[in-house]
Amino acid sequence: MLSRDRFPRIPEKSWKAYVEPSDAPLGLPTDELDRLLCATIVDPHEAQDAREAMGLNLPHRLEDFRDLGVTAQELSLSVVAAWLGGIKEEGIDTFAGEQLRRFSPWVSAWCVCGAAFHSLPTLVGLNKRRANNALRKIAEAIEGMQADGLDRSSLSEQSEEAWMTLRYRGLLGEAAKAAFDYSSHERSQPLPELAIQWPGSGRALSSLLYDTVSSLPRSLTPKDSRLAFSRLGAMLAQSILETRQERAGNRSPRATAREEEAEFVALWQEQTEACYKLAAKACLTYPR
Confirm whether 97 is domain-assigned.
no
| pLDDT for the residue numbered 50 | 96
Confirm whether 96 is domain-assigned.
no
Question: Is residue 73 located within the same domain as residue 161?
Answer: no
Question: Is residue 87 located within the same domain as residue 114?
Answer: no
Secondary structure letter of residue 184 according to DSSP: H
Evaluate whether 281 touches 114 at the Cβ level (below 8 Å).
yes
CA gap 140, 144 in Å, rounded: 6
Question: Is residue 127 located within the same domain as residue 266?
Answer: yes
| pLDDT for the residue numbered 35 | 93
CA gap 270, 273 in Å, rounded: 5
Question: Is residue 169 located within the same domain as residue 256?
Answer: yes
Evaluate whether 87 touches 276 at the Cβ level (below 8 Å).
yes
| pLDDT for the residue numbered 187 | 41
Question: Is residue 74 located within the same domain as residue 114?
Answer: no
Q: Single out the residue in 26, 59, 91 at which a domain terminates.
A: 91
| pLDDT for the residue numbered 20 | 87
Question: Is residue 32 located within the same domain as residue 167?
Answer: no
Residue type, 275: C
For 15, 30, 112, the CA distances from 115, given in Å and listed in that order, are: 29, 21, 5
Spatial CA neighbour of 3 closest among 61, 82, 78, 80 = 82
| pLDDT for the residue numbered 250 | 61
What's the predicted TM-score (pTM) here? Answer: 0.79
Residue numbers of the domain that contains 52: 1-91
Question: Is residue 282 located within the same domain as residue 186?
Answer: yes
Confirm whether 98 is domain-assigned.
no
Question: Is residue 148 located within the same domain as residue 48?
Answer: no
Confirm whether 219 is domain-assigned.
yes
Q: How many domains does the chain have?
A: 2
| pLDDT for the residue numbered 212 | 61
CA gap 128, 243 in Å, rounded: 9
Evaluate whether 183 touches 128 at the Cβ level (below 8 Å).
no
Confirm whether 260 is domain-assigned.
yes
Question: Is residue 184 located within the same domain as residue 226?
Answer: yes
pLDDT profile of the chain (288 residues), mean per 10: 90 94 58 94 96 94 94 97 84 71 82 79 74 71 53 47 58 63 52 37 53 56 63 85 80 77 90 91 84
Q: Single out the residue in 66, 91, 116 at which a domain terminates.
A: 91
